[in-house]
Structure 1
Amino acid sequence: MRKPVIGLTTYLEVVTQDVWHERAAFLPEPYMTSVTAAGGIPVLLPPQPAADDVVDAVLDRLDGLLLTGGLDVDPELYGADRHPLTDPARPDRDEWELTLFRAAERRRMPVLAICRGLQLVNVARGGTLHQHLPDELGTERYCIGGGEYAINEVVVDERSRLAELIGAGELDVHSYHHQGIDRLGAGLVASARSEEGLVQAFESDSDDYVVGVQWHPEENGDDRRLFEGLVAAASAFSLESALRS
């Protein structure tokens, strides 16, 4: 059986390389390394016009979708006024990733959503976000800044798909987020929380493979289980697709 192809969404930001200083599509290497180490083939999906025919052409060539981290989702998408500390809107990325996710859902393609990806899926399902967690929780422990990932403890629900992937109970994770889930979107159930009750992971309440985590598993090179789960689900999806065609 061929290795499954996993699409990874990317940033589109101003970057500097040698004498060049311009907008470019990029993604931190740990995402790609994690997919490769788990047995998948990573393919990058830069923001672009989200026409249905374009999205269909992209997904026709994929077996799984990974929605990566990045800047905040536009609060207008969940009907909220902008908090002063919310990142400037990135409508190109929001539109592209929302369209990708919704099309992947229709195909029942496996999806893993990380940090911003989790928040985007929640919004796509009609949920809402806390725009600045220190206002809600009185702590900045989920984003200590300076490019340094904080280590926080979450508790994984023993009855969840997530527990089947990484085990139930307490787990130390790499955090870098100042926003979080407020109201869960339709068809999503919490599969891990922190001590304050903040949702730290969710999954679909159906058999569809939609797993979201608020933390950054790509930063833990010793634990590829979430990526292995996505790759295994993508392999099964690829086989089922081949049998249907």
Structure 2
Amino acid sequence: MGERPMIGITSYAQPARWGAWELPAALVPFHYVESVERAGGRALVVPPSTEAVDETLDVLDGVIFSGGIDIDPATYGADRHEKTDPAQEHRDAGELALLERALERDIPTLAICRGFQLLNVARGGDLIQHLPETVGHERHREVLGAFSEHPVEVKDGTKLAAILGPRHDSVQSSHHQGVGRVGEGLVETAWAEDGSLEGLEDPDRRFAVGVLWHPEMEEDKRLFEALVDEARRHRAERVARLPVSDLGRTPSDG
């Protein structure tokens, strides 16, 4: 398997309860961590912050942008829909800063659910704030706190198709928002049966793949394996560029 690349996972930042305690927490569902470990990587939880973004990316070989609360519509110039979650400005700002810099530095990136939406917003796209009003049903999230299942069709010739093939059955879905205007430089890669967009990627980046479903909840770990493989190559290339005197340290790419 070789050396395990370091994969950052962006974290939720909200109150959490354990035992007798309820405190503000930076946390991530453990399925993300298990998926990275099973794929051959080492997972690191990354709390949201606009500070030390490059220093954070200096120690990461790849990044996963996790799911969670809705993005503030103000980030894409829209008024808040009544069904949209209250804003978490600190998470939005921190993750946008991290994502934009990760894309600039061409660090392998997997964007999941909220992360998929964030990828689109970062590139100037916008979101459909309540998808049932557009598609006429709630099968993308039938019950809060439980995943729905549906298939997606994948566009031939895309990186996603190279990983998953032309169709991926029974994706694990829990979202009520979707992509409206597609952001600059992004290619549409997957669709649900109702025509709603489920996949995006940037073909000009080594690995910048977004999916609206939750692959961490699937037994199929091919998306995580592809990310970890690309992160391992990225790590090897960075190490190869280091002067001999700097081996053992990771330089900033900018």
The answer to whether the aligner puts 1:11 opposite 2:12 as a matched pair is yes
Letter in 1 for 2:61: D
Once residues 241 and 19 of structure 1 are traced to their aligned partners in structure 2, the CA distance between those partners, rounded to angstroms, is 45
C-alpha contact (below 8 Å) 1:7/1:62 kept by paired residues: yes
- Tell me which residue corresponds to 1:27: 28
Cα displacement string for residues 129-180 of structure 1 (whole angstroms, at most 9, x for unaligned residues) = 0000111111100011231100011101121110111111353201000000
Deviation at 1:196, TM superposition (A): 2.4
Show structure 2 runs of 5+ residues with no match: 243-254
The answer to whether the aligner puts 1:239 opposite 2:233 as a matched pair is no
Identity fraction in percent: 44
TM (norm. structure 2) is 0.92
Match of 1:116 among 90, 114, 117: 114
- Tell me which residue corresponds to 2:186: 188
- Tell me which residue corresponds to 2:87: 89
SS in 1 for 2:183: coil
Show structure 1 runs of 5+ residues with no match: none
TM (norm. structure 1) is 0.96
Match of 1:77 among 66, 75, 78: 75
Please identify, of 234-243 and 163-172, the stretch whose mean Cα deviation from structure 2 is larger. Answer: 163-172
Match of 2:225 among 225, 228, 240: 228
SS in 2 for 1:66: strand
Letter in 1 for 2:154: V
Cα displacement string for residues 2-26 of structure 1 (whole angstroms, at most 9, x for unaligned residues) = 2100000000111111121111111
Once residues 72 and 87 of structure 2 are traced to their aligned partners in structure 1, the CA distance between those partners, rounded to angstroms, is 5
Letter in 2 for 1:22: L
Cα displacement string for residues 212-233 of structure 1 (whole angstroms, at most 9, x for unaligned residues) = 000000101x200000000001
SS in 1 for 2:64: strand
Deviation at 1:36, TM superposition (A): 0.2
Once residues 56 and 146 of structure 1 are traced to their aligned partners in structure 2, the CA distance between those partners, rounded to angstroms, is 36
C-alpha contact (below 8 Å) 1:38/1:231 kept by paired residues: yes
C-alpha contact (below 8 Å) 1:158/1:169 kept by paired residues: no
Deviation at 1:207, TM superposition (A): 4.0
SS in 1 for 2:176: coil
- Tell me which residue corresponds to 1:46: 47
C-alpha contact (below 8 Å) 1:204/1:211 kept by paired residues: yes
Deviation at 1:195, TM superposition (A): 2.0
C-alpha contact (below 8 Å) 1:69/1:114 kept by paired residues: yes
- Tell me which residue corresponds to 1:65: 63
SS in 1 for 2:226: helix
Match of 1:163 among 152, 161, 164: 161
C-alpha contact (below 8 Å) 1:165/1:229 kept by paired residues: yes
Letter in 2 for 1:172: S
C-alpha contact (below 8 Å) 1:187/1:204 kept by paired residues: yes
C-alpha contact (below 8 Å) 1:4/1:238 kept by paired residues: yes
Letter in 1 for 2:31: P
Cα displacement string for residues 17-39 of structure 1 (whole angstroms, at most 9, x for unaligned residues) = 11211111111110000000000
Once residues 151 and 12 of structure 2 are traced to their aligned partners in structure 1, the CA distance between those partners, rounded to angstroms, is 28
